[in-house]
Chains A and B, each alone.
Chain A
Amino acid sequence: MKTHYLTALLFIFLISGIYSPLKADEDKPGGHGAKEFNASEFILDHIADSHEWHILTTKEGKSIAIYLPVILYSKEKGLSVFSSKKLSHGHVHNGYRLEEEGDLKGRIVNVDEAGNADEANFPLDFSVTKAVAAMFFAALIGLWLFLSLSSSYKKTGVSHPRGMQSFLEPVILFVRDEIAIPNIGHHKYERFMPYLLSVFFFILINNIMGLIPFPPPFGANVTGNIAVTMTLALFTFVIIQFNGNRTYWRHIFATPGVPLWLLPIMIPVEIIGIIAKPFALMVRLFANITAGHIIVLSLVALVFIFKSVAVSPVSILFVVFMNCLELLVAFLQAYVFTLLSALFISLAVQEHH
C-alpha cells in the first residue's frame, strides 16, 4: 500500500516536473508575459516533429536541447550534413534556414542572400528528426529485447518459460493464437508471423515510449506521425500485393459474377479498395495516438489557460487517468494494426471458396 502511494507521488512529481518547463518555454521567449499563451500552438509544438529535441528553457530564455543531425540534399548544393544547432534561432547555414513562423514552420528552406525563402524549390530533408531518433531507440530496445529473448530460449531449450520469457511469451502467443491463426489459418500463418510480430512490437514499443514523458528517447510522438504510420501501412500493402494469389487478382480485375460491361466501373472501385485498406491502417494509428497526445497536452495546458497553480491537481488527476487510458490504447492500437494487417493478408491469400 505504501509503495502505491510512493509511486503515485513520484508520478505526480514527474508530470509536474516535466510539464512545468513548458510554461517557461511558452511564456518567456518574447520577454515577461509579452506573448499570450496559445494552447493550440503549444500542443502542436509538442506533437509535431522537429529537428531538435527540446528539453527545457531556462528563466533567462536559454533553451536546453539535444541538437539532432540535419541531412539535406539539393541539386545545387549536393548533400550536406550538419548539426541542427547551426540552424537554431533562425540562423542561416549553407544557404538553409529552419522556418520558425508561418505556414512553413518547422521546415528547412533554401534562402537567397537577401534572406527570402525559395518556396518553389525545397531541399530534400533526410534529417534525423525527433521522431526518427525516438524510433531508432525504440528499434534498439526491441532488438535488444527479442534478441536476448531468443538467446535465452537457446539456453533453456524446451523446458518451461522463465524470466523474461514468461513475460513476453504470452504476448507472442497472443499475436499467434488470436491474430495470425484465426485470420490467416493454420496452413499459411507461419510465413507472416515474423512480419506481424515485428509490426506489433514496433508499434507497441513506440506507443509506450511516446507515453513516457521524459527523458529524451521517450516522449516523442512517433506513431502519431503520419509519415511513420504511412510507411508501416505501406509495408502491409506491399506484403498483401506480393502474396496475393490468383483468386485475389481475379476478384480485382475480373470479379466473378459481374457482367463484362460493369468491369470498367468495378476495376477502379476494387483498386480504390486496395488503397483504402492501408489508408485506413495509416489514419487509424495516426489519429488515435495523436488524439491521445493532444488530450494529455490539453489537460496540461489548462494550468496555463487558467494561469493558476490551483488547477494543477485537477489537471494532474485527469492526466494520470488519461495516461492509464492511453496505455490501454497503446496496446489496443498495436493490436488493431496487426489484426487488420492479418485480415487484409488473409483476404489476399485465402483459397477459392
Chain B
Amino acid sequence: MLLSNSLITPEVGTVFWTTLIFLIFFLVLRKFGWKPILSMIKQREEMIKGSLESAEQARKEMLKLQSDNEAIIRKARDEREDILREAREIRDALIAEARGKANEEAEKLVEKAKTSIEKEKTKALSEIREHIANLSVEIASRLLGEELKRTGVQEKLIDNYLEEVKITRN
C-alpha cells in the first residue's frame, strides 16, 4: 500500500500551522515587501518610459528646429536676392534719370547760350549800325564841307541809304 492514509489525509494541525505561517508570510510581505518593491519597480518603469518619451520629443523638436532653421536660411537668401535686385533696379533707374536730367539741363544751357548770343549779336549789330551811320554822316559832312545839317530830311535820306545797304548786304 503505497498511498497510506497518512499521506492523503490532511492533518488538522498541519492545516492550522500552514494557515498561520502563510498568513504571516503573506501579510508581512504585502505591507513591507511587495508594496515597496512593486511601487519602486513601477516608478522606475515610468521614469524610463517618461525619459524615452521626452528624448523622442526632444529629437522631434530638434528636427523641427533644424527644418525651421533651413527655412529661415532659405527665406533670408531669397530676401537678399530680392534686395539686391531691387537695389540694382533703383541704381539703373537713378542713373537713367540723372542722365536724362543732365541732357535736358545741357540742352537748356545751350538754348540759353544761343538766345543770349543772338541777343548780343543783334545788340552789337544795331550798335555797329548806329556807329556806322554816325561815321558815315560825319564822313559825308566832312565830304560836303560840314554844311550838311542834321536836319530831318537829311537824316531820312541817310536812313534810306542805310536801308539800302542793309538790303543789298542781305
Q: Are A146 and B37 in contact, CB atoms less than 8 angstroms apart? A: yes
B-contacting 9-mer, from A195-203, A317-325, A332-340: A195-203
Q: Are A198 and B14 in contact, CB atoms less than 8 angstroms apart? A: no
Q: Are A226 and B7 in contact, CB atoms less than 8 angstroms apart? A: yes
Q: Which of A49, A135, A226 meets B8, CB within 8 Å?
A: A226
Chain B residues with a Cβ closer than 8 Å to the other chain, count:
38
Residues of B within 8 A of A18 (CB): none
Interface flag for B145 (CB, 8 Å): no
Q: Are A146 and B7 in contact, CB atoms less than 8 angstroms apart? A: no
**Given contacts A139-B22, A169-B41, are A146 and B29 in contact (CB under 8 A)?**
yes
Q: Are A202 and B25 in contact, CB atoms less than 8 angstroms apart? A: yes
Closest chain B CB from A181 CB (angstroms):
12
Interface flag for B136 (CB, 8 Å): no
Residues of B within 8 A of A (CB): 1-2, 4-19, 21-22, 24-26, 28-30, 32-38, 40-41, 43-44, 47
27 A-B contacts (beta carbon < 8 Å): A40-B2, A49-B6, A49-B14, A107-B6, A125-B13, A126-B13, A132-B18, A135-B21, A139-B21, A142-B29, A143-B28, A150-B34, A154-B36, A158-B47, A159-B44, A176-B38, A193-B34, A194-B30, A194-B35, A198-B22, A198-B30, A226-B8, A227-B18, A230-B10, A231-B14, A231-B15, A231-B19
* A-B residue pairs, 3 tightest by C-beta: A227-B14, A227-B10, A194-B30
Residues of A within 8 A of B (CB): 40, 43-44, 47-49, 71, 103, 105-107, 124-129, 131-132, 135-136, 139, 142-143, 146-147, 149-150, 153-154, 157-159, 169, 172-173, 176, 190, 193-195, 197-199, 202, 225-228, 230-232, 234-235, 290
